[in-house]
Amino acid sequence: MKRRVSVDAIAGAIVVMLSMAVAVGAMRFPPTSGTVAGPALFPLLLAAIWGPLGLILLLKHLRVAPVGQAAAPVRPMVGLLGLSVAYAGVLPLLGFVSASALYLTIAIEFLGYRHRWRAGAVALSLAFLVFWVFRGVMAVPLPDGWIG
Amino acid sequence: MPAEIIEILHTLGSGAVWLALLGGVLGGLFVGAMPGLTATMGVALLVPFTFSMPIMPALALLIGVYSGAIYGGTITAVLVRTPGTPASAATLIDGYPLTQRGEGGRALAIAAAAALSGGTIGTLLLILLSPQISAFALRFGAPEYCALALCGLTMIVAISADNPLNGAIAAVGGLILATVGIDPISGYPRFIFGAVSLMEGVSFIPALIGLFAVSEALRVADSDAAKMTTAAQPHGWFVRQADAIRCSWTAIKSAFIGTFVGAMPGAGCDIAAFLGYSEAKRSAAPADRFGEGEIKGIAAPEAAKTAASSGAMIPLLSLGVPGDSVTAVMIGAFIIHGLQPGPLMFTEQAGLVYAIFALVLLSHVLVFGFGSIGARLFLRLVAIDRRFLAPIILLLSMVGAYAMRSNMVDVWLALGFGAVGYAMHRHGFPVAPVILALILGPMAEENFRRALVISDGSPAIFFERPIAATLLALAVLSAIGTAWRRRRMIHGLI
Amino acid sequence: MTSGSRLPVSSTIQRRGLTALPRRDKIAVAWVLLLLGVLGWMRYTRDDATGVFPQRGLTLICPYSPGGGTDLFCRGLARAAEPLLGRGVTVNNITGGGGGVGFSAGLLARPDGHTLTAVTFELLSLPPQGLVPFAYDDFELLLRVNMDPSAVTVRADFPASTLQEFVAKAREREGKLSIGTSGPASVWHLAAARLARSAGFKARLVPYGGAAPAVTALVGGHIDAVTVGPGEVMSHVKSGQLKILAIMSEQRLEGWPTIPTTRESGVDVVFGTWRGVAVPRGVPVAVLARLRKVLGEAARSPEFISFAESTGLNLALADGDTFKAAVEAQSIEVRALMDELGVMP
């Protein structure tokens, strides 16, 4: 519980800053012309609600002094997200089947499965299955890339 | 009447029709379960294939896909917190906690039964009251849609569980996100930073996939959170009698809400599901535990969205106006076969219309059958090793996000929303309000400003029209009521 | 799918003896090699080695979602062109940005003629808004297939049965008559603005999120008129809920022989949307010639003509040069109109 205190305060501060950015951005929109509401009305209104909400969150959790940050285990999640980002990067270059098979094999092994060949077999089969469903059955094209 | 009965019997006597309906329902269940492949997309991709088919099998195929896809999303929503279609997002709020307790079988049985009752009630209303309901739905113009969206937005506090402040922050953040893109009234680009891909706004499907499926897969990957599954408890084929009795009134009420919402041309199954859920929560008994695996919280959205899929056929068949995005696509299939949906069809081709009613009803029965029998098979999803499950969900999420518009930007968006959703979940910010805000925010803003264009800037348009005024009053009352019931909690927060 | 997956990792090693493991791995190795072989074969057969166009299947980029009018048009044309090319034509819906994303993708494709783009009126209305980094002349226009003029449509009970009476009513109501459009700066919005200017009346232009919601609002009586394509209101006109007063085309349409044109009704407006096919600049001349020939034949095939009839597409074939001249003329008109409407930032 104590760890969340500081995170909430940071979240509150982020919300306050973002809402100010939204307000500044929306001020530059063309003004409300005549009597009809213009494009800036809603963003300004929402920023005016969001900012104070963030401020409440910030102040509420500032009252309690933040106590030492317990290091939470985030490694698997960060690694997997990084792998997914890399996958999205190489997908258009390599092509769908090869990139997906590679991604699945590495990700499965990364999460602690030790049999590389079996992971590879599952990964390749799945990549082909998804490819067949999208391309063959639904006629939705997937990236071709160098390999396919 | 006898002529209609003969037409129905003739239709149902054809093997091709049955084959198409069966294939459609099975294909639809699959399409619905895949993140990114929605009911709209499934039907749209099939329409060209139906050009060369005779009319009844073609309609059977499309109706089957529609009903199947609307249910298919629930399976993955309940079991792996990955809603395959937007309409299923409301079901996971209470469905997934049940799966975590090992009661996934029970949750699916309730969902299937609620879907069948919703579909049946919706279809009966379609058969009996089409002209009346569609006349009512047509009275919804810009001010009414705006008021309806505001009604829906007042439930944000309701669905943000135990922390209204965090729920409100998530919701307003979602509303701000919803303003990104070309302004639909003035045409001015808002917050797009020169990106052509953002001109139509932050695409909804990648947001949905990211906030639920990607963030869940990341959580599954975390060894800490990996204990998401308790061993699944055995459950019979069908819903238990006690569960059925407990949910019956909720399901019936939701089915009526769903049918009306579905019949409105500007609101579809997703809005119906959320409105059904919020009404169930608003009228909750003290013993109900919404958000923690309350079975009424499964029955309500399931009944509402299935009823809405029947309701969407009401304006289509009686006026030629599609009730949602799926029926908008379906209209193409009607026209290509030389049929003009609308008032004339009811008088000139009554037999055909009744055969369509029969197909809609049958599709719901088939979905119920497959949903109940298949539940045991689906439950194995939960048993898949997390080291395989997490990467597979991620891969399907990214492919689904890509396939929607063939745009890599949507894959990046899904990953970004995944990281945000993961962080929100970890720090006690609910994600359901963001989804609701993305659905209802544009509806509220667009129609508010459109109404002012029509009235030349006079706000009287919202109060002079009886339906709009009633809905606005309801929204205000509901907001005050919720605030009053939670006054202690809100006071404690500030 | 999960041969080794149902067992937790520790028990896999304990329960399966060392002798059992390699055997499963051997099967896995064989399976991986087999699938890699399939992948290699797919890669090998993707491109035809003869070097004669088309070397592989073609892609037709549709900048709008599946199920819409342009999507149906693409799928119909692709199907008609396939037998003439001897290759498959895949429709790829690259959507977003009001068509801008699909147009950009089409321009970025390798200019070898294997990637075609379905181009529409929005190619002219997007660039003046300064939102997209291209102009219509970045494309090599191959063929215009259809044109849909705007149809001035009102409810059946509207107290006017000709365009003149409609204009008189609009003047009488001093700017309070509302016309629904398919969104700001969209083709039907410009059509309404053009009509109001030429006929000399003022009206409230109410933007909706597409033609269909605007038509629904008209059927429900929330607005007075729409200026969308005849196909969008066809079913409501046939069922007697709506009536078309005039169509903004040069001549009367084949499908609507009784409806007068705007010029016949005394208002000098010709305005509408069109659909055609284009490739990026830089495609070899021989390939261009082959594509023009094949697409022209496809669009004239009886199969495509009957498809167009049933979907309400108003065919108006024009070859590259005619198409280009028409687009150039309309581009100037659109730019001027948008200036006047103030939709250019």
pLDDT tens readout for residues B71-110: 999 999 999 888 988 899 999 999 999 998 889 999 999 9
**CB-closest option in B51, B183, B340 to C239:** B340
- CB of C244 within 8 A of CB of C230? yes
Please name the residue of chain A whose CA is at the shortest distance from the CA of residue C46. Answer: A148
In Å, how far from its chain's centre is CA B467?
24
- CB of B264 within 8 A of CB of B68? no
Chain A, 102 to 131: residues with Cβ < 8 Å from chain B are 103-104, 107-108, 111-113, 122, 126, 130
Q: Which pLDDT band holds residue A20 (cuts at 50, 70, 90)?
A: very high
Separation of alpha carbons B347 and B341, rounded Å: 11
CA distance A68 to chain B (A): 16
In terms of residue numbers, what domain contains B165?
Answer: 2-493
Q: Phi/psi class of residue B110: alpha, beta or left (left: φ > 0; alpha: ψ in -120 to 50)? A: alpha
Which ipTM score applies to this complex?
Answer: 0.90
**CB-closest option in B169, B186, B449 to A15:** B169
Separation of alpha carbons C186 and C122, rounded Å: 8
User: Three-state DSSP class for B28?
Assistant: helix
- CB of A134 within 8 A of CB of A103? no
Contacts of C243 (CB under 8 A, 6+ apart): C153, C154, C155, C156, C158, C161, C237
For a pLDDT cut of 90, what percent of chain B falls above it?
Answer: 48
Residue B157: predicted pLDDT: 67
In total, chain C counts a number of residues equal to 345
- CB of C69 within 8 A of CB of C230? no
For a pLDDT cut of 70, what percent of chain C falls above it?
Answer: 91
Task: Provide the sign of the torsion angle of the four alpha carbons C170, C171, C173, C178, taken in this order.
Answer: positive
Separation of alpha carbons A90 and A96, rounded Å: 9
Burial of A82 (0-12, 13-18, 19+ CB in 10 A): exposed
- CB of A73 within 8 A of CB of B223? yes
The answer to whether C11 contacts chain B (CB < 8 Å) is no
Domain range annotation of chain C = 58-148+273-341, 151-247
Residues of B in contact with C208 (CB under 8 A): 450
Separation of alpha carbons C233 and C237, rounded Å: 6
CB contact under 8 A, A88 and B391: no
- CB of A39 within 8 A of CB of B186? yes
In Å, how far from its chain's centre is CA B422?
23
**CB-closest option in C9, C35, C36 to A112:** C9
Separation of alpha carbons A21 and B175, rounded Å: 15
**CB-closest option in C29, C35, C42 to A125:** C35
Report the neighbours of C using a cutoff of 3 or more CB pairs below 8 angstroms.
Answer: A, B
Mean pLDDT, all residues of chain B: 88
CB contact under 8 A, A100 and B395: yes
Provide the 10 A C-beta neighbour count for residue A144: 16
Once rounded to an integer, what is the mean pLDDT over residues C288-312?
91
CATH class of the domain at C58-148+273-341: alpha beta
CB pairs B-C closer than 8 Å: 161
Residue C69 pLDDT > 90 = no
- Count: domains in chain A: 2
Separation of alpha carbons C111 and B320, rounded Å: 43
Q: Which pLDDT band holds residue C8 (cuts at 50, 70, 90)?
A: very low
pLDDT tens digits, C201-242:
999 999 998 888 899 999 999 999 999 999 888 888 988 899
- CB of C298 within 8 A of CB of C288? no
> How far separated are the first and last CA of chain C, in Å rounded?
55
Residues of A in contact with C31 (CB under 8 A): 121, 124-125
**CB-closest option in C3, C38, C90 to A139:** C90
User: Three-state DSSP class for B349?
Assistant: coil
Amino acid sitting at position C155: R
Once rounded to an integer, what is the mean pLDDT over residues C310-338?
90
Burial of C316 (0-12, 13-18, 19+ CB in 10 A): buried
User: Three-state DSSP class for C52?
Assistant: coil
Q: Are residues A47 and A79 part of one domain?
A: no
- CB of B463 within 8 A of CB of B469? yes
Q: Which of B73, B82, B84, B55 is nearest to B367 (CA)?
A: B73
Residue C7: predicted pLDDT: 43
Mutation choice for B interface testing from A126, A130, A140, A142 by most B CBs within 10 A? A140
Residue B493 pLDDT > 70 = no
Separation of alpha carbons B395 and C225, rounded Å: 48
CATH class of the domain at C151-247: alpha beta
CA distance A65 to chain C (A): 43
The answer to whether B459 contacts chain A (CB < 8 Å) is no
Separation of alpha carbons C269 and C247, rounded Å: 9
> How far separated are the first and last CA of chain B, in Å rounded?
65
Mean pLDDT, all residues of chain C: 87
Q: Are residues A52 and A89 part of one domain?
A: no
Mutation choice for B interface testing from C95, C235, C304 by most B CBs within 10 A? C235
Residues of B in contact with C219 (CB under 8 A): 138, 319, 321
pLDDT tens digits, C147-170:
999 999 999 999 999 999 999 999
Report the neighbours of B using a cutoff of 3 or more CB pairs below 8 angstroms.
Answer: A, C
Once rounded to an integer, what is the mean pLDDT over residues B461-468?
93
Q: Quick one: tokens of B359?
A: 């197909």
Residue C274 pLDDT > 70 = yes
Phi and psi at B235, nearest 5°, equal: -145, 145
Between residues C87 and A63, which one has the greater pLDDT? C87
- CB of B159 within 8 A of CB of B430? yes
The answer to whether C222 contacts chain B (CB < 8 Å) is yes
pLDDT tens digits, B343-397:
888 778 888 888 999 999 999 999 999 999 888 888 888 778 888 989 999 999 9
Contacts of C301 (CB under 8 A, 6+ apart): C80
Q: Which pLDDT band holds residue A19 (cuts at 50, 70, 90)?
A: very high
Q: Quick one: tokens of B282?
A: 């608003």
Please name the residue of chain B whose CA is at the shortest distance from the CA of residue C181. Answer: B185
Residue A74: predicted pLDDT: 59
Mutation choice for B interface testing from C219, C238, C242, C334 by most B CBs within 10 A? C219
In Å, how far from its chain's centre is CA C316?
15
Separation of alpha carbons B265 and B314, rounded Å: 10
DSSP calls for C212-279:
HHHHHHHHTTSSSEEEE-HHHHHHHHHTTSEEEEEE-SSS--TT-TTSPBTTTTT-----EEEEEEEE
Q: Quick one: tokens of A124?
A: 């390749």
Chain C, 155 to 174: residues with Cβ < 8 Å from chain B are none
Q: Phi/psi class of residue B50: alpha, beta or left (left: φ > 0; alpha: ψ in -120 to 50)? A: alpha
- CB of B189 within 8 A of CB of C131? yes
Amino acid sitting at position A50: W
Once rounded to an integer, what is the mean pLDDT over residues C242-266?
93
Q: Quick one: tokens of B437?
A: 């805000």
CA torsion B267-B208-B157-B291 (nearest 10°) is 110
Report the neighbours of A using a cutoff of 3 or more CB pairs below 8 angstroms.
Answer: B, C
Separation of alpha carbons C149 and C167, rounded Å: 19
CB contact under 8 A, C238 and B340: yes
For a pLDDT cut of 90, what percent of chain C falls above it?
Answer: 57
In terms of residue numbers, what domain contains A85?
Answer: 75-137
Beta bridge partners of C139: C280
- Count: domains in chain B: 1
H and E: helices and strands count for chain C: 12, 11
- CB of B482 within 8 A of CB of B154? yes
Residue C11: predicted pLDDT: 43
Residue A63: predicted pLDDT: 66
**CB-closest option in B175, B185, B223 to A46:** B175
Answer with the one of A11, A30, A62 that is the final residue of a domain: A62
Separation of alpha carbons B433 and B172, rounded Å: 9
Contacts of A29 (CB under 8 A, 6+ apart): A38, A39, A40, A43, B188, B190
Domains C58-148+273-341 and C151-247 share a fold: yes
- CB of C113 within 8 A of CB of C54? yes
CA distance B390 to chain A (A): 9
Once rounded to an integer, what is the mean pLDDT over residues C268-278?
94
CB contact under 8 A, A80 and B427: no
CB contact under 8 A, B190 and A29: yes
Mutation choice for A interface testing from C32, C65, C341 by most A CBs within 10 A? C32
The answer to whether A86 contacts chain C (CB < 8 Å) is no
Residue B11: predicted pLDDT: 76
CB pairs A-C closer than 8 Å: 59
Please name the residue of chain A whose CA is at the shortest distance from the CA of residue B426. Answer: A4
The answer to whether A118 contacts chain C (CB < 8 Å) is yes
Residue C315 pLDDT > 60 = yes
Residue C86 pLDDT > 90 = no
Residue A45 domain-assigned (yes or no): yes
The answer to whether A37 contacts chain C (CB < 8 Å) is no
CA distance C268 to chain A (A): 31
The answer to whether A38 contacts chain B (CB < 8 Å) is yes
Which residue shows structure tokens 């063929």?
C143
Q: Which pLDDT band holds residue C345 (cuts at 50, 70, 90)?
A: very low
User: How many Cα atoms sit within 13 Å of B400 on the Cβ side?
Assistant: 33
- Compute chain C's Rg from CA coordinates: 26
The answer to whether B219 contacts chain A (CB < 8 Å) is yes
Phi and psi at C140, nearest 5°, equal: -95, 110
Start-end of H helices in C99-206 = 100-108, 122-125, 163-172, 187-199
CB contact under 8 A, A11 and B427: yes
**CB-closest option in A7, A43, A50 to B427:** A7
Q: Quick one: tokens of C114?
A: 């294997």
Look up residue C179 and give its DSSP letter: E
Which residue shows structure tokens 């060369």?
B52
CA torsion B291-B378-B46-B341 (nearest 10°) is -50
Which residue shows structure tokens 């070097």?
C51
Q: Which pLDDT band holds residue C15 (cuts at 50, 70, 90)?
A: very low
Residue C18: predicted pLDDT: 45
Phi and psi at A31, nearest 5°, equal: -70, 160
Separation of alpha carbons B304 and B327, rounded Å: 17
Phi and psi at C244, nearest 5°, equal: -95, 130
**CB-closest option in C1, C46, C92 to A122:** C1
**Which range has the top average pLDDT, B115-119, B167-171, B333-337?**
B115-119
Residue A1: predicted pLDDT: 43
Residue A11 domain-assigned (yes or no): yes
Between residues C174 and B421, which one has the greater pLDDT? B421
Once rounded to an integer, what is the mean pLDDT over residues C39-49?
79
**CB-closest option in A30, A91, A108 to B188:** A30
Residue B13: predicted pLDDT: 79
Residue A91 domain-assigned (yes or no): yes
